[in-house]
Each structure stands twice: as structure tokens, then as C-alpha cells.
Amino acid sequence: MAVNARYYEKPWLKFYPQNVPSTIEVPERSLPDAFDEATRKYADKTALIFHGKRISYSKLREEVDRFSTALHELGLQKGDKLALYLLNSPQYIIAYFGALKAGATLTAINPVYTSIEVKHQLEDSEAKSIVCQDFFLDNVERTGLKLKHVIMTDIGEYLPLSMKLAGRSRLGRYAKSERPSPGIFERPGYHQFQKLLKKYPANPPKIEINPKEDIAILAYTGGTTGVPKGAMLTHYNVLACQTQARAFRLKLEEGKEVFPAMLPFHQIYGQVSVMLNGLLIGATLILFTTPDLDEILPAMEKHRATTFFGVPPSFLFLNNHDKTGRFDWKRLKIIASGSDTLRESTIRDWARRTGANITECYGLTECSALSHLSPSGRPKVGSFGVPLPNIMAAVADSETGELVAPGEIGELLLSGPNIMKGYWKRTDDTRETLIEIDGRSWLRTGDLVKMDDEGYFFFYDRKKDMIRYNGYSVFAREIEEVLHRHPMVKAAAVLGLLDHSVGHLIKAIVVLQTGARGKVSEAEIIKHCAENLANYKVPKIVEFRGELPKTDVGKVSHRELREEVGAI
């Protein structure tokens, strides 16, 4: 298979923001080296604000070095896997860079995971040590795994005494979680985070890291279409993504930005776009343990935030929030949405409500967070933008694998320095996902898109969510968009049910607005769809529910729905 010359021409380059180069040099250095450079350069500047507590870059560097020394003295060696089971907090960042300095490979565990899910990730990643919030210990214990080291931290450790109670009260459902008894630390291998920092000096080990080969992060996929897999991201992969995104956002000034850090750091989007991108350009991060917008909006105003990185549910909530209009969104340098596609109605409502535009972006765990961004000067409604510098993107027929022309729908392929090394211990999955064309390695994303003549990309559906009806290809997302336009529909998901006579029957699962339940019929929903869609796209079955299963970032979990109803 040869790549169509149209892609090599990169038509999207003409729409890059002014002075953004088509290619950039990605430094071959480790994440700890990049962190050390930033902390030297911005030593006296505030790195973190945590419920009012300020931590400078120099203090952050000292704590990181102390923790790295502690891990080394506890016997952690290069290549060992360390799990982080933490909420956004200073401890997360200290443990993150401290472990990398000690040569570890990190794997971040979702705080909402059950003990079964925690066990799977610990076993699959081969992590023998963990850093966790104290109120997560019970979940760790219930895995039944014998871990070498369990390092626990109290969320209030970085708050002044007068604020500790208030800080814990902001933890939402975690606030009432039971803390372990002090006697737990008498058991071998159990340690207190703060005691380790006080015991060991800021004298981290000298570890040789090969940025292009050594794995920094085993980032587990969300599992929306199957069992979570560990994407092997090298130091080079992650820094490439951060460098590419940084080059595209020329409005951001080093040492002058303020990033609200509400996106969870255990996800690659929050980890790279907010935590790493912010710290490596000397920004101040306002840390939030939980995404409580009633707390976030006043803090953004108080600390003069300059950016906002969110997910579609954030913007949907803000569009209906009474305090949204009190904040001057137009003064922010970038308002970005990732992790899922935005509804067109959400984009329009946002612009009308705030007078500001949302920059849509696209990315996957496998590409270290980002591959596309909408050009700030020329966005297109419905498009997630154009490829970042150093990234090649193409579209292939989802059945034949042949590349298709602009305007045709197919699977998105990506190639660039930010693409993962492969899946951890999953050779077959790696072979299916990373393919070679014309001597270049390409990532098969599993997402169906199209590229227009100007090089803008538009999302249609997950490949696994595409429905076949009487020989037609039907995209679930298109029907969901129409369903969301009904004034009484709050949420919706569309699935294909296996039917040998037509291929698949289209089923819509609908959540109605409060007060509308029992007042809207299946026939009314079908009629609404028939008025807005071709006949073959109209759902044949409508089911009403009180809620839909969600992933931890607020996406509707089509995987759970498919498993539940036996759909494709």
C-alpha cells in the first residue's frame, strides 16, 4: 500500500497559526531532565497552588529529589514499575517526577477503579510498589496482592493546619473515606510519604535514561472498546507530544501562564496537556482534587487563569451553570476540549453564552495525548482540526485498508514521534495496531473520520460503533446528534443489534430531561429522527432509561451498553 501523494503535501499546513513551523526539533532528553531545566529557570516562581497553599519551583524540585532518593534507598531500580493511585495534588507531581528520576516506569491508576480493576492493572503492569492516597488503601488491600512497598499520603499534607479540614471537605465522595490506623506503618513495606521526604536528602540517583527506548509511562487505555491495555510511552514520545502542542500554541508565554488543573492526572490528556505542558513552560498550576466547577470558577478568577482545558461534559455543564457568565472567558488564551467530540449545539451555545470559542483537539492514549488541534484563526464547526507539527495523518478504507481520497470516510492513521512504542505484553494487538506503509510506522486509531480538501479532519464514529443496515454504513454519532436536538432528550446512545435479515437493527437508548419522563413516547422519538435523517438511519427501537453508563471522563460507555444488550 502506498500513501496518496495528497497526504504528503500536507494541505493543512497553510492553515497553521502564524509562525508555527511544519516540523520542529524534538529534543532527545528525559522527562526528569526537562523538569530540572524548568525548575532551575523558574526557581522562585510559584509552581503549584493547592487550596491556597503556594509551592515554588525550587521547593517542588527539592521534594522531588528527596522522594527520588527515598525510592532509590528503598531498592527501586531502573525499569521497575511503580503505580500512582492518587488524586490531583502536590504529592502526585512529586511522586511522578521522583519516580522517573529513580528510573522507574509509571502506571497511573484511575481513582474510581474498584479493587478488581486495580488488581488487573497492578498485575498486568507488573507494578510491585504503589504510592496511594490513604483512603484508597482498602482497595489496594482487597486486591490480595503482595506488594513490595506501599507508600501512603494524606491529601492534607500540603495544607496549613487551619485549612486541612476545609481541604478534606472538598474531596466529594472521598471526604468520608476511612483513613487507615497509624499502626499500619508498623508492617514491613508500609511507609508515610512525608516521613520519607524528611528522612532522605535531596540527592537523587544518577540514572542513565535512553529517551527513545526507555518507557516512562505505561498508560492504560480507557477500555471503552475492550479490556484496558498498557500503551508503552517513552520519554521521547511524551516530550514530543508536549513539544508539538507547545509549538502550536504561540499565544502561551513561558513563565507567565496560569493553568487550572482540573483534568485528572491519571489520564494522559490531563497529564500531558496540563501537568507537563504547564510545568515545563513555567506555568502556575491551580490543583483541584475533584472537578467541582463551583470551586474552580472562583479560583480561576482569583488567580487570573489564562487557560482552560476541559472535556465535553464540562462545557455542557457550564452552558447551563448560573455562574458561567460571571467569568470573562474571552480573556483566556486557550479554551480547549478533548477526550471526546463536542456536540455542535454545545459549541454554538458556548459561543453565545461566553463570546469565546472552544479549540477542539483530538488524541489518544497511544499518541501520548494529542495529534490534532483546531487552528485558532480558522476553526471549522464539526472539525477537530489539523495535525500538529511532525505528524502525518491519513485516512484508510476500514475494510480494504487502502487509503482514500479527501472527502471519503475511513479509519484515521497517524504517524509521528509521539506514537507509542507498542502495547505492553500484547504482541498481537501491537502488530494489528502499528502497521508499516512505505517504510513508515502508522498507528491505526480505530476512529472513522474524513479529511476535507484543506486538510481539516472530521470525526464520524468509532470503527466498532459503525452499524451496517441493509448494506448501508450508519454512524451512531450522527443519529445521536439528531437525538440530542430534541428538546426533551438529555442524553442518548445508539447501537446496532444483530439481525440476519438486515444486518443490524438500529436501537436508540434515550435519557429524557427531568419532568419529561413518561410524557415522550417511542413513536415521538422515531418521528423526530425520521424528520431529520434518511429512512435507513432512523432507529427501529427506542428504550428509555434514567441514565447511561459513563467512563471516568464522562463519555457514554458504548462498550458496556454493547455487552449488556448483546449489540455489535
End-to-end CA distance of the chain: 29
Grid coordinates of 330: 474571552
Grid coordinates of 132: 496511594
pLDDT at 225: 46
* Average pLDDT score, the chain: 88
pLDDT at 393: 94
> By three-state DSSP, how is residue 50 classified?
strand
Query: Cα separations (Å) of 112 from 106, 129, 406, 511?
Result: 18, 19, 41, 23
Rounded CA-CA distance 378/341 in Å is 18
**Spatial contact of 107 and 217, defined as CB atoms under 8 Å apart:** yes
pLDDT at 2: 52
Domains with residue ranges and CATH for the chain: 5-26+224-461 (3.40.50.12780), 58-208 (3.40.50.980), 466-565 (3.30.300.30)
**Spatial contact of 450 and 460, defined as CB atoms under 8 Å apart:** yes
Mean per-residue pLDDT, 367-374:
93
Which stretches within 23-162 are classed as H helix? 31-41, 57-73, 90-101, 115-125, 137-141
- Comparing CA positions, the residue from 110, 74, 113, 66 lying closest to residue 91 is 66
pLDDT at 160: 63
Among 211-215, 460-464, 523-527, top mean pLDDT goes to: 211-215
Give me the residues paired with residue 509 across strands: 493, 543
In this predicted structure, the answer to whether residue 362 has a pLDDT above a threshold of 60 is: yes
**Spatial contact of 258 and 283, defined as CB atoms under 8 Å apart:** yes
Taking only the tens place, the pLDDT of each residue in 475-504 is 788 888 889 889 999 989 898 888 777 778
The vertex-237 CA angle with 235 and 241, nearest 5°, equals: 115
Taking only the tens place, the pLDDT of each residue in 540-560 is 999 999 888 876 656 777 777
Dihedral class, residue 279 (left if φ above 0, else alpha if ψ from -120 to 50, else beta): alpha
Q: For residue 292, what pLDDT band results from cuts at 50, 70 and 90? A: confident
Taking only the tens place, the pLDDT of each residue in 156-178 is 888 766 565 555 555 555 655 66
Grid coordinates of 321: 451553570
pLDDT at 380: 85
pLDDT at 224: 46
- Comparing CA positions, the residue from 389, 376, 372 lying closest to residue 333 is 376
Taking only the tens place, the pLDDT of each residue in 27-68 is 999 999 999 999 999 999 999 999 889 999 999 999 999 999
Among 57-61, 430-434, 449-453, 564-568, top mean pLDDT goes to: 57-61
pLDDT at 78: 96
Q: Work out whether strand 334-337 and strand 359-362 pair parallel, antiparallel, or are unpaired.
A: parallel
Taking only the tens place, the pLDDT of each residue in 70-125 is 999 999 999 999 999 999 999 999 999 999 999 999 999 999 888 988 999 999 99
pLDDT at 178: 63
- What's the pTM? 0.85
In this predicted structure, the answer to whether residue 5 has a pLDDT above a threshold of 60 is: no
**Spatial contact of 494 and 539, defined as CB atoms under 8 Å apart:** yes
Mean per-residue pLDDT, 331-354:
85
- Comparing CA positions, the residue from 504, 503, 501, 493 lying closest to residue 542 is 493
Burial level of 201, CB count in 10 A (0-12/13-18/19+)? exposed
Longest dimension (CA), the chain: 71
